Structures are given as structure tokens and as C-alpha cells.
Chains A and B, each alone.
Chain A
Amino acid sequence: MGDSSESGIESGGAGSGPPHLIGRFSRLRSELGKDDARPALIGFASTLAFFGVVIWAVAASGNWPRVQRSFFSAEAFRNAWPDVLGGFWLDLQMWVVAEILILALALLLAVLRTLRGPAFLPLRVVSIVFIDIFRGVPLLLVIFLLGFGVPALQIPGLPNSALVWGVVALVLSYAAYTAEVYRAGIDSVNESQRSAARSLGLTQWQALRYAVLPQAVRNVVPALLNGLVSLQKDVALISVLGVREAVREADIIRARTFNFTSLVVAAVLFLLASVPLARLADWYSARDRARRSQSAT
């Protein structure tokens, strides 16, 4: 169908003659150019004007030099950078390790929760109770409980590091949320897909593994990316245990120098990591939407 309509346009164009066509095209292009440039120019100018006024207002106020000294001192920035950056490296490591564990544990929880049949009731109950508890208790509280509580027990064989238990707290809490994300994905796959897989002789587990889960995970990738961005910031909560990651390092410097620039350094580092990630998540969501609307037609 697409072929025939294209060839129709071509033959029509040939009939009306090239010079005429070129004239029409150039007119079209100049119009398009005008339409394209004007909104962009307006947007640029208004943005410039807006931020110009804001910056002028801030700088013109009598308090700006004090604010600058305290938060945006170039010298303090340079001095704090190496230690805070070192701490941020630890943040990134905790983030990656935690995310891998979260994705795995959450998938397990979601799968257990969707198992059918009376024999699997205990597993379903375990999953539901786990999710209810760790979704219901504030993350900071879980970090306190595990990070201070477990090492204090001095149980032989268990690690005593606050860092380890802080990451465990993050994993438990985030896994509970992420399990619900997966479950929404599993529920979004039509029941008929499961029927089709079972009718081929596949077991319940195989139907889930080969037919349902690949579609379920694909449906929730944007939500998973969102969680990834969120976790990237929440690893900083582990600083309350005294773990010397970026926020902790920055706060140590703040206490020593009575200057807040070190905290701004940490903020900049977190932004450098999270903003590109957020854009990546946006890009994926947009692409995913396009893919869906295409396959729907």
C-alpha cells in the first residue's frame, strides 16, 4: 500500500514539471525556516533574560559576598575536591553493588509472589510479608537498625562493617519496592500469553521464564531506571553510619573549616552522575513509547 501511494506522488511531480517544483520547495523551506527559528529565538532570549534578572538580583543583594564565601568559595572547592571525590568513588561502588543485588532479589520476590497453586502458599506469604515490612519502614530506620544493631551483636561469622550492613539495608528496602515494579510488569502481560505457553507443555516456571518475564521486564525498564537514579542519591544515607563516602567526607571538611563549599562539591558530584542517568531514562521511555504506538497501529 505504501509503495503505490509513493509512486503516485512521484508521477504527479513529474507531470507538473521540475521548475515549478523547485519554486514550491524553496518557498516551503523559507517558511519552515522562519517557523523554526522564531520559537527558538524567543525561548533563548526569554531564558537569558529570566536568569539574567535572577542572577543580578542575587548578586546585587548585600548578602551575596557572604553567601559566596560560605558556599561557593573557589579555594575551599579546590581543597575539598580530592577527599570528597574519593568518598564519591565509594558511593558509586556501593551503588553498583546494591543495584545488582536489588534487581536479583526483587525479581525473586516478585516471582515468588506470582506463583500459583496451594503448594506455593508459604513462599507467597514470605514474599508478601517481606515486601510489606521493608516498604513500610523508613529506609533511614532500616539503616540504623542494621548498620548499628547487627555489628553491635558481635556474632562470630557475621561481618561487623557498618558499610556492609548499610548496603544490606539499602538492598532490602529497595528490593521491596522494585519487586512491586516487577510484579506490575508481570501483571501487565496478558494472561493469554501464559495460556499459550502452558498449552505447549511448558511448566509454570518455564512459561514464566520464557513467555512472561521477558515481556514483563521490557515493560518496566523505565520504572527500573527511575529506581536506579533514586538509589544513586540514597546511597549517601549510609553516611549516618560513619561510612566515609562523599557526604561524610564533605561534612568532616565542613566541621573543620566552617565552610559549606565542601557540601556543594558533593552535590555537584551527585548531579554529574544523576542528571545524565535521568536523561537516559527519559530517552528510553520516549523510545519505548514510540515503539509501542508503532506496534499498536
Chain B
Amino acid sequence: MSKDVIPQITLDNVHKRFGKREVLIGIDLEVAEHEVICLIGPSGCGKSTLLRCVNLLERIEKGRILFGGIDITAPGVNENDIRKRMGIVFQAFNLFPHMTVLENITLGPRRAHGIAKVEAEARGRDLLDGFGLGDKADEYPDRLSGGQQQRAAIVRSLMGDPEVLLFDEVTSALDPELVGEVLGVIRGLAERGMTMILATHEMGFARDVANRVHFMHEGKILESGPPAELFKSPKAERTQQFLKRVIEAGRL
């Protein structure tokens, strides 16, 4: 990353706590445009919270988060306007069960972006076609497989033309045989140059797709580097232990 380019997302000494528990302790992170960042680490290390803070779903106690050079954690920032420029995909899909797939994906454009129904639906059907869900537009989410639901959720996050996509362990709730189709979609987005931050347990995927990998442990980033380096010769002892367990579990 050259120094004169403003990073798309910057976390500067971000602290977050839930009650007494410190979840994020002084996180520094930079994400350049078109970069794919993977956050790895054991459950409860703060990966998900970090993503939720970037999407302003959680308020940070200390530090700041910059988006396109602007401090979005400053008072007076309209969080809805910020969120319209980002997409987030959740572990449990979080589709709206009372709406069809098409209604799910056009809700944001219609209500938040003020796009006309006809236009939003045309674009929605186009995108669904592109993601192999063309015939599912008028189905309700509970009629879809987990993989289809998660792909629909990804389409929903793409509908507002986001500048950044956040993925919060999006394959963790899926049956193993459905993981591939969702990872394939994300890989496609990476190839098209989408800026992304992924919290993931899929180490093999992180190694293939990420530009940089950050290992998190107990609210801190312990080690960062290109995937080839970090997975091959981790320096920190915690990283070594974590990767050893992952390899033993057959996840790499």
C-alpha cells in the first residue's frame, strides 16, 4: 500500500467494551481500496465486534474509525448515510422471513436510497440472476437452502452499490456441502475488486483470497501479514498454537 493513497477504512486505536469485558483493545487497521482483509482467530477474539463497529452497529468507546478519510465515529455523523455506502453480511443470514427474496433485497434501495420500486426490482432481478438465484426471487427465505439464503443476503448487501463489504463468519452456520457455493460468490467479488473485510474460520479460503491476514486474540491484533507468510511461518506463539489446532482439525 503506497503512502499517498488514502485508505478506504482506517481503525485508529479502537476500544470497545461490553460492561466490564474489553472486547477490542486498541485496534489499528488499514484497508486500502480493492483490498481483501481476513480476520482470523478463536471465537470471542473480537472479530465480529470489529465488523459491527465499522458498520456503526456498535458504538466505540475510544479511538476513531475513518471511512474514505472521514471520521465516521465523530458526533453528528449520520450513521444511516454511512451504512448506505457499506454492506454487511451476517453469520445467520438475517433475511427478513416475512418478505420474499425480492422484497428482502429491494427494501434498502427503496426505503433508504429512495429508488422507485420498478427500478429497484429490475436491478434486484438482474443481480439475483447473476448469483444463480433468478428463480428464487418470489420465494420466501424459509423455502431456500442455507447456501441460497446466504447468497440472497450477499445480494441484499450489494444492492446499494457498497464501497466496502463486511463479512461476519458468513459460512459458519452452513452445512459443509453448502460452504463452497458461498465462498465461490465471495471469491468472485474479490476478483471484481470489491474492498472487503472478512471475519472467517475458513483458513484455506483466507489463504487464497486475502491480501493480508490479521490474527486476533483477546481483543488485540497479535500478528498481521500476507497470507503466505502468516500461515507458513507465524511468529507469535498464540498464532502458532491457533494454526496448529486448525490444521489438526483439518480446516487448512
- A residues bordering B, Cβ < 8 Å? 192-193, 195-203, 206, 210-211, 214-215, 218, 295
Q: Once the chains bind, are B94 and A206 in contact (CB under 8 Å)?
A: no
- Top 3 nearest A-B pairs (CB, nearest first) are A200-B108, A201-B112, A201-B84
Q: Which residue of A lies closest to B143 (CB)?
A: A295
Is the Cβ of B94 less than 8 Å from the Cβ of A195? yes
Contact of B96 among A193, A198, A201, A203 (CB under 8 A): A193
- Interface CB pairs A-B, < 8 A, 6: A196-B96, A199-B55, A200-B111, A201-B108, A201-B112, A214-B98
Which of chain A's residues have a CB closer than 8 A to the CB of B52? Answer: 195
Measured CB to CB, the closest approach of chain A to B228, in angstroms, equals 33
- List the A side residues contacting B142 at CB < 8 Å: 295
With known contacts A197-B107, A210-B107, A210-B111, A203–B80 Cβ distance under 8 A? yes
Q: Mark B104-143, 1 if CB is under 8 A from A, else 0.
A: 0001100111000000000000000000000000000010
Report if B217 contacts A (CB, 8 A).
Answer: no
Interfacial chain B residues near A199, Cβ < 8 Å: 55, 57, 83, 86-88, 157
**Which residues does chain A contribute within 8 Å of B84, judged by CB atoms?**
200-201
Would you call B80 and A195 a contact (CB within 8 A)? no
> Please, which residues of chain A bring their CB within 8 A of the CB of B88?
199
- How close is A2's CB to chain B, nearest CB, in angstroms? 14
In the assembled complex, the CB of A45 is this many whole angstroms from the nearest CB of chain B, namely 45
Please classify how large the interface on chain B is, using the bins under 10, 10 to 19, 20 to 34, 35 or more.
20 to 34
**Smallest CB separation, B161 vs chain A (Å):** 12
Q: Which residues of chain B are within 8 angstroms of A206 by Cβ–Cβ distance?
A: 111-112
Q: A192-B92, A206-B112, A210-B111 are in contact. Are A201 and B97 (CB under 8 A)?
A: no
Contact of B90 among A192, A214, A215 (CB under 8 A): A192
Contact with A along B128-164 (1 / 0, CB 8 A): 0000000000000010000000000000110010000
Chain A residues within 8 Å of B86, by CB: 199
Q: Which residues of A contact B90 (CB under 8 A)?
A: 192, 195-196
Asked if B177 CB lies within 8 Å of chain A CBs, one says: no
**A200, B57: Cα distance in complex, Å:** 11
New A-B pairs, 8, CB < 8 Å, besides A199-B157, A202-B112? A196-B94, A197-B96, A199-B86, A199-B87, A201-B81, A201-B108, A206-B112, A215-B97
Pair A200/B107 contact, Cβ less than 8 Å: yes
Chain A residues with CB under 8 Å of B108's CB are 200-202
Q: Is there an interface contact between B107 and A202, defined as CB atoms closer than 8 Å?
A: yes
Give the chain B neighbours of A215 by CB distance below 8 A: 96-98
Find A195's partner among B57, B95, B98 (CB 8 Å cutoff). B57
B146 to chain A, nearest CB (A): 14
B87: which A residues are within 8 A, CB to CB? 199
Residues on the B chain within 8 Å of A202, using CB: 80, 107-108, 111-112
* B160 engages A201 (CB within 8 Å): yes
Q: How far is the CA of A193 from the CA of B90 in the complex (A)?
A: 11
Name which residue of chain B comes closest to A213, CB basis: B98
Residue of A nearest to B104 (CB): A196
Q: Please, which residue of chain A has its CB at the minimum distance from the CB of B79? A: A198
Check B98 against A201 for contact (C-beta < 8 Å): no
Given A215-B98, A295-B142, are A201 and B83 neighbors across the interface (CB < 8 Å)?
A: yes
Kindly supply a per-residue 1/0 record for chain B positions 44-69, scoring 1 wherever the CB is within 8 Å of any chain A CB and 0 otherwise: 00000000100101000000000000
Complex alpha-carbon distance, A225 and B165, angstroms: 44
Most buried by B among A201, A202, A295: A201
Q: How far is the CA of A157 from the CA of B88 in the complex (A)?
A: 55
Interfacial chain B residues near A193, Cβ < 8 Å: 94, 96
